[in-house]
Amino acid sequence: MFKKVLIANRGEIALRIMRAAKELKIPVVTIHSDADISALHVLLSPESYHLEGVTPSETYLNIDKIIEIAKKSGADAIHPGYGFLSENEKFAKACEENGITFIGPSPSSMKAMGDKLRARELAKKAGVPVIPGTEKPITSLEEAKAFANEVGYPIILKAPAGGGGRGMRLVKSEDELKNSIESAKRESLGAFGDDRIYIEKYLEEPHHIEIQVVADKFGNTFHLFERECSIQRRHQKVIEESPSPFIDNKLRLEIARNGVKIAKAVGYFNAGTIEFLVDKYKKFYFLEMNTRLQVEHPVTELVTGIDIVKAQFKIAAGEKLDWKQENIKQSGHAIEARIYAEDVLNNFNPSPGKIVGLINPSNPGTRIDTGVYQGYTIPIYYDSMIAKLLSYGETREEAINRMLVALNEYRLAGVKNNIVFHKIVMESKNFLEGKYSTNFLNEFDYVSEIKKIRNENIKNVILAASLTYKMMEKDIKSVDEREKSRWKTSGRIESIYKNSFRLLY
Ligand code: ADP
């Protein structure tokens, strides 16, 4: 095993990796930016190095500095987590050149899958169905029009280098095409330094179903079944579950086999995810491959009992996986709700700030992976996901009920967040029945539901506050003036706050 591992990430994922390393008795070193000096991954890390600056490029994306710290601290391995440098082929190469093990796949499979067009070509060659689309980036408006007319609208524009929904545009008719291409190109150039755009047929009411694969360096490739990730906002996942309520066992195994086929075709090792879209006729198509650990990996850990992060360490250290595919079982049901500091009613815009009150839920079958604590200020510079709340049950119903118990007890005060949003999704008819596609949020009036709950809460808070105030006034009458002002600014005010907090999300 490794002498020491450097974790090139922050937040909940840095903690998740740190804990796996601690279990494996591997010493850990972390890094932090100016904005993360008091972050939990730093407080709980035995050794942490400061990177000057706050922007990702100065800090968590700074390849030279990170390699330098790894060497200085004696780390012989780096885990990149997800996001940041996790799919950066140059970084994986830099690790290799400096004699440091990159805990992830080879730079060549990262490269092959890092470009969506190349990945589609590879999938096709491996005999896996891909969504109808252009084979190359489009070079003119005429070419785009011709392809769109051939497959029919709607279509979706995509950046080959894309990720996080950037450079992606849904186009419903020809009059939107010119402007959409221009804005997709602009966005892609800004985000990836590459303005190439290609077209895919837009599948209506599809399901996002992905296969977790884990492979060692000896050619043993396993699948850990699927995750259904169709509850998305702005084409980005917010709720994931396993098993998918949409597919039967036969289809599940067929998609999984195709996932393994793709992983084998790129000589993949370590943990990776092959994403598919499944249309309403249950036809599946390769979407893309993520050559890293996914945010939603705990969903799979809960249903399979396999610790994916520990497996990553072992594979990277050159160990052989002595697993048997037929012994890997998907049992029970797991759901993940991503908790974001965001303003749901304002297009889910990030809403960082100080967490003034926090109660984390903890009931049977609940797992919470989080990087925040009461009093912590969420920085504005990074992703606004602050926790992943997971529930596990023997059945889907039990997992949903446990999730609801947890969401109802979860208190996160001081920043706008999506806890109430998750609650109403869990209680919605379509979710309860497991009948939803990636269209779910377009068809569900979550705004009115949230407003209803919010109005109720505000009423309760005002009631609690006015009751407490009345009690305070009564008490104050019996004490002298000096006492009065002291009470006003200390305990009594605090009790108003506490009562309010009890009712607020
Ligand atoms: P990114 O890498 O930017 O996250 P993906 O290609 O993984 O983008 O797509 C993200 C989501 O966008 C999918 O889960 C799906 O909801 C939607 N999407 C992407 N391509 C299509 C398509 N051809 N048809 C319908 N929806 C799509």
Residue 145 belongs to a domain: yes
- What Å distances lie between residue 459 and 55, 448, 463, CA to CA? 41, 17, 6
Q: Which of 62, 87, 103 is the last residue of a domain?
A: 103
336 CB less than 6 Å from ligand 1?
Answer: no
36 CB less than 6 Å from ligand 1?
Answer: no
Joined together, the tokens standing for residue 316 give 């990277």
Say what the pLDDT of residue 479 is: 54
> Which of 204, 279, 287, 288 maximizes ligand 1 atoms within 8 Å of its Cβ, making it the mutation to test the pocket?
287
257 plus 386 within the same structural domain: yes
Instruction: State the distance from the centre of ligand 1 to the C-alpha of 169, rounded, in angstroms.
Output: 10
Say what the pLDDT of residue 162 is: 87
Residue 341 belongs to a domain: yes
Residue nearest to atom 18 of ligand 1 (CA): 235
Instruction: State the distance from the centre of ligand 1 to the C-alpha of 170, rounded, in angstroms.
Output: 10
* Other CB atoms within 10 A of residue 465 CB: 16
Instruction: State the distance from the centre of ligand 1 to the C-alpha of 232, rounded, in angstroms.
Output: 10
Residue 115 belongs to a domain: no
341 plus 369 within the same structural domain: yes
340 plus 434 within the same structural domain: yes
Catalytic residue among 16, 292, 338, 402: 292
485 plus 433 within the same structural domain: no
- Residue 82 DSSP code: S
119 CB less than 6 Å from ligand 1?
Answer: no
How many structural domains compose the chain? Answer: 4
Residue nearest to atom 10 of ligand 1 (CA): 235
Say what the pLDDT of residue 475 is: 59
The CATH number that applies at residue 401 is 3.30.470.20
142 plus 96 within the same structural domain: no
197 plus 211 within the same structural domain: no
Q: Where are the alpha helices (DSSP H) in 98-221?
A: 107-114, 116-125, 141-151, 174-192
Residue 111 belongs to a domain: no
202 CB less than 6 Å from ligand 1?
Answer: yes
Say what the pLDDT of residue 477 is: 60
292 is catalytic: yes
Q: Which of 173, 201, 229 is the last residue of a domain?
A: 201
34 plus 93 within the same structural domain: yes
Q: Which of 417, 435, 453 is the last residue of a domain?
A: 453
Residue 112 belongs to a domain: no
314 plus 425 within the same structural domain: yes
Say what the pLDDT of residue 472 is: 66
Residue nearest to atom 12 of ligand 1 (CA): 235
SS3 375: coil
- 465-476 pLDDT, tens per residue? 766 666 666 655
279 plus 234 within the same structural domain: yes
Instruction: State the distance from the centre of ligand 1 to the C-alpha of 153, rounded, in angstroms.
Output: 16
Residue 108 belongs to a domain: no
332 plus 465 within the same structural domain: no
203 CB less than 6 Å from ligand 1?
Answer: yes
Q: Closest Cα partner for 351 from 419, 416, 422, 418?
A: 416
Residues with pLDDT less than 50, the chain: 503, 505
Q: Computed from CA positions of residues 43, 48, 52, 58, in that sequence, does the dihedral angle turn out positive or negative?
A: negative
pTM: 0.92
Residue 126 belongs to a domain: no
Is 125 within 8 Å of 294 (Cβ atoms)?
no
235 CB less than 6 Å from ligand 1?
Answer: yes
Residue 122 belongs to a domain: no
The CATH number that applies at residue 45 is 3.40.50.20
195 plus 329 within the same structural domain: no
- What Å distances lie between residue 10 and 31, 54, 294, CA to CA? 8, 12, 15
Instruction: State the distance from the centre of ligand 1 to the C-alpha of 277, rounded, in angstroms.
Output: 8
Q: Closest Cα partner for 91 from 61, 116, 132?
A: 61
Say what the pLDDT of residue 496 is: 56
Say what the pLDDT of residue 461 is: 72
The CATH number that applies at residue 190 is 3.30.1490.20
Rounded to the nearest 10°, the torsion over CA 165, 439, 224, 222 is -60
Q: Which domain holds residue 479?
A: 459-502
46 plus 85 within the same structural domain: yes
168 CB less than 6 Å from ligand 1?
Answer: yes
> Which of 277, 284, 285 maximizes ligand 1 atoms within 8 Å of its Cβ, making it the mutation to test the pocket?
277
